[in-house]
Structure 1
Amino acid sequence: MMIVQMDKMSAPPRERAQRLYEKNIELENKRRRSAQARVPSDPNTWQQMRENYEVIILEDPDLSEKHNIDYALWLLHYKRIEELRGHFNSAHASTVSPSSQGVKGPSRPDRVTKIRMQFKTFLSEASGFFHDLIVKIRAKYGIPLDYFSEGSENWNVMEKDGKKSADMKKGLFFCHRCYIYLGDLARYKGLYGEGDSKYREYATASSYYLQAASLWPSSGNPHHQLAILASYSGDDLVAVYRYFRSLAVDSPFTTARDNLIVAFEKNRQSYSQLPGDVKVSAVKESRARLTGKGRGKVEAKLTSRDTSVEAGLGKQGASSTHLIHKLFRTQFVRLNGILFTRTSLETFAEVLSFVSNGLHELLSSGPEEGLNFGSDVHENGLFIVRVISILIFTVHNVIKEAEGQTYAEIVQRAVLLQNSFTAAFELVGHIMERCSQLHDPSSSYLLPGILVFVEWLACCTDLAAGNDTDENQATVRSKFWNGCIYFLNKLLSSGAMPIEDDEEVACFHNMSSYEEGETENRLALWEDFELRGFVPLLPAQTILDFSRKHFFGGDVVKERKARVKRIFAAGKSLANVVRVDKQTIYFNSKVKKFMIGVEPQRTDDLMLNAFSGEENVLQEIPVETTKLGSLQPKPLQYIEEEEEEEDEVIVFKPIVVETQNDVVSSKWAPYEGLKPIQNSYGGDPKVHGSFTSAALDSLQQTHMPLSVG
Structure 2
Amino acid sequence: MMIVQMDKMSATSSRERAQRLYEKNIELENKRRRSAQARIPSDPNAWQQMRENYEVIILEDHAFSEQHNIEYALWQLHYRRIEELRAHFSAAISSTGSNTSQGLKVPPRTDRVTKIRLQFKTFLSEATGFYHELILKIRAKYGLPLGNFAEDSENRVMDKDGKKSAEVKKGLVSCHRCLIYLGDLARYKGLYGEGDSKSREYAAASSYYLQAAALWPSSGNPHHQLAILASYSGDELAAVYRYFRSLAVDSPFSTARDNLIVAFEKNRQSYSQMSGDVKASVPKESTRLTGKGRAKGEVKLASKDTDSEASPLKESASSVQEKLKSFCTRFVRLNGILFTRTSLETFAEILALVSSGLYELLSSGPEEELNFGSDAIENALFIVRLMAILIFTIHNLKKETENQTYAEIVQRAALLQNAFTAVFELTGHIIERCTQLTDPSTSYLLPGILVFVEWLACCPDIAASNDVDERLAIVRSQFWIYCISFLNKILTLGPIDDDEDVTCFFNMSRYDEGETENRLALWEDSELRGFLPLLPAQTILDFSRMHTLGGDGIKERKARVKRILAAGKALANIVTVDKKTVSFDSKVKKFVIGVEPLDDDSHIHLLLGHAQNK
Q: Deviations over 1:318-348 (max 9, x none)?
A: 6432221111011000000110111110000
Task: Give the CA deviation at 1:475.
Answer: 1.2
User: What amino acid maps onto 2:524 in structure 1?
Assistant: E
Structure 1 range deviating more: 352-361 or 285-294: 285-294
Deviation at 1:306, TM superposition (A): 8.7
Q: Which has the higher contact order (CA 8 A, sep 6+)?
A: 2
Q: Give deviations 1:252-279, integer Å, cap 9, x for gaps.
A: 1111111111111111111111122676
SS at match of 2:162: coil
User: Which residue number corresponds to residue 222 of structure 1?
Assistant: 222
Give 1:519's aligned residue: 517
User: Given residue 216 of structure 2, which amino acid in structure 1 is its aligned partner?
Assistant: W
CA displacement, residues 131-154 of structure 1 (integer Å, 9 cap, x when unaligned): 0000000001111235x4434586
Amino acid at match of 1:250: D
CA distance 1:601–1:426, change in 2 (3 Å):
same
Amino acid corresponding to residue 305 of structure 2 in structure 1: K
Aligned to 2:501: 504
Give the C-alpha shift of residue 156 in structure 1.
Answer: 4.3
2: CA distance, partners of 1:81 / 1:444: 46
Q: Hey, what does 2:606 align to over in structure 1? A: none
Matches within 5 A, 1:104-253: 108-146=109-147, 148-151=148-151, 155-158=155-158, 162-253=162-253
Q: Structure 2: which 5+ residue stretches go unaligned?
A: 1-9, 602-614
Partners of 2:283 and 2:302 within 8 A in 1:
no
Match of 1:664 in 2: none
* 1:541 matched to 2:538: yes
1:60-85 CA distance string (max 9 Å, x none): 11011111110000000000000010
Q: Secondary structure at the match of 1:265?
A: helix
Q: 1:530 to 1:539 in 2, by over 3 A?
A: same
> In 2, Cα distance between the equivalents of 1:186 and 1:149?
17
Note closer, same or farther for the CA distance 1:233–1:28 as it changes in structure 2 (3 Å cut).
same
Amino acid of the structure 2 residue aligned with 1:41: S
What SS does the aligned partner of 1:234 have? coil
Q: Is the 8 A contact 1:247 1:254 kept in 2?
A: yes
Does residue 85 in structure 1 map to residue 89 in structure 2? no
Q: Distance in 2 between matches of 1:113 and 1:295?
A: 56
The DSSP-based 3-state class of the residue aligned with 2:497 is: helix
By how many angstroms is 1:462 displaced? 1.2
AA aligned opposite 2:28: L
More helix by share: 2
2:322 is the alignment partner of 1:323: yes
Alpha-carbon shift at residue 437 of structure 1 (Å): 0.4
Q: Could you list the per-position Cα deviations for residues 342-364 of structure 1 after superposition, in whole angstroms to 9, with x for gaps in the alignment?
A: 11100000000000000000000
SS at the partner of 2:592?
A: strand
| Residue matched to 1:396 | 395
* Contact map agreement 2:209 2:226 (CA 8 A) in 1: yes
Following TM superposition, by how much is the alpha carbon of 1:472 offset from its aligned partner in structure 2, in angstroms? 1.6
Shift of 1:10: 12
Does 1:422 pair with 2:426? no
Residue 584 (structure 2) aligned to one of 583, 587, 596: 587
Matched residue, 1:571: 568
1:649-664 equivalences in 2 (<5 Å): none
The answer on 1:47 being equivalent to 2:48 is yes
How many residues align structurally?
585
AA matched with 2:424: F
Q: Distance in 2 between matches of 1:540 and 1:375?
A: 30
CA contact (8 A) 2:36 2:42 kept: yes
Q: Residue 528 of structure 1 aligns to which amino acid in structure 2?
A: D
**1:596 counterpart = 2:593:** yes
Which whole-Å CA distance do the structure 2 matches of 1:82 and 1:154 have between them? 34
Give the secondary structure class of the aligned counterpart of 1:476.
Answer: helix
- In 1, the alpha carbon distance for the partners of 2:230 and 2:135 equals 27
What is the alpha-carbon distance in structure 1 between the residues aligned to residue 526 and residue 43 of structure 2? 48
For residue 276 of structure 1, give the secondary structure of its aligned residue in structure 2: coil
Any idea what the Cα deviations from partners look like across 1:78-99, whole Å, max 9, x if unmatched? Answer: 0000001000100100011148
8 Å Cα contact 1:286/1:356 also seen in 2: no
What is the percentage of aligned positions where both structures have the same residue? 73
**1:104-156 deviation line (CA, Å, top 9, x unaligned):** 7x85111111111001000000000000000000001111235x443458634
SS across alignment from 1:96: helix
The amino acid across from 1:121 in the alignment is T
Counterpart of 1:532? Answer: 529
CA RMSD, Structure 1 to Structure 2 (Å) = 2.7
Match of 2:264 in 1: 264
Compared CA separation, residues 160 and 358, structure 1 to 2 (3 A): farther
Residue identity opposite 1:389 in structure 2: A
> TM-score if structure 2 supplies the norm length?
0.90
For 1:75, the aligned partner's letter is Q
Q: Specify whether residues 227 and 297 from structure 1 end up closer, same or farther in structure 2 by C-alpha distance, changes over 3 A only.
A: closer
Pairing of 1:218-367 with structure 2 (within 5 A):
218-276=218-276, 280-284=280-284, 286-287=286-287, 290-291=294-295, 298=302, 301-304=305-308, 319-367=318-366
- Name 1:487's counterpart in structure 2: 486
Question: Could you report, residue by residue, the CA deviation over 1:268-295 in whole angstroms, capped at 9, with x for unpaired residues?
Answer: 1111111226763443473489246667
CA 83–107 in structure 1, closer or farther in 2 if over 3 Å, else same: same
Output one character per residue of 1:531-572: Cα deviation in whole Å (capped at 9) or x when no partner: 111111111111100011122454510010000011011111
| Offset at residue 221 of structure 1 (A) | 0.6
Query: What CA distance in whole angstroms lies between the structure 2 residues aligned with 1:142 and 1:52?
Result: 23
Distance 1:305 1:481, change over 3 A: farther
Q: Are the equivalent residues in 2 in contact too, given 1:220–1:246 (CA < 8 A)?
A: yes
Amino acid at match of 1:436: T
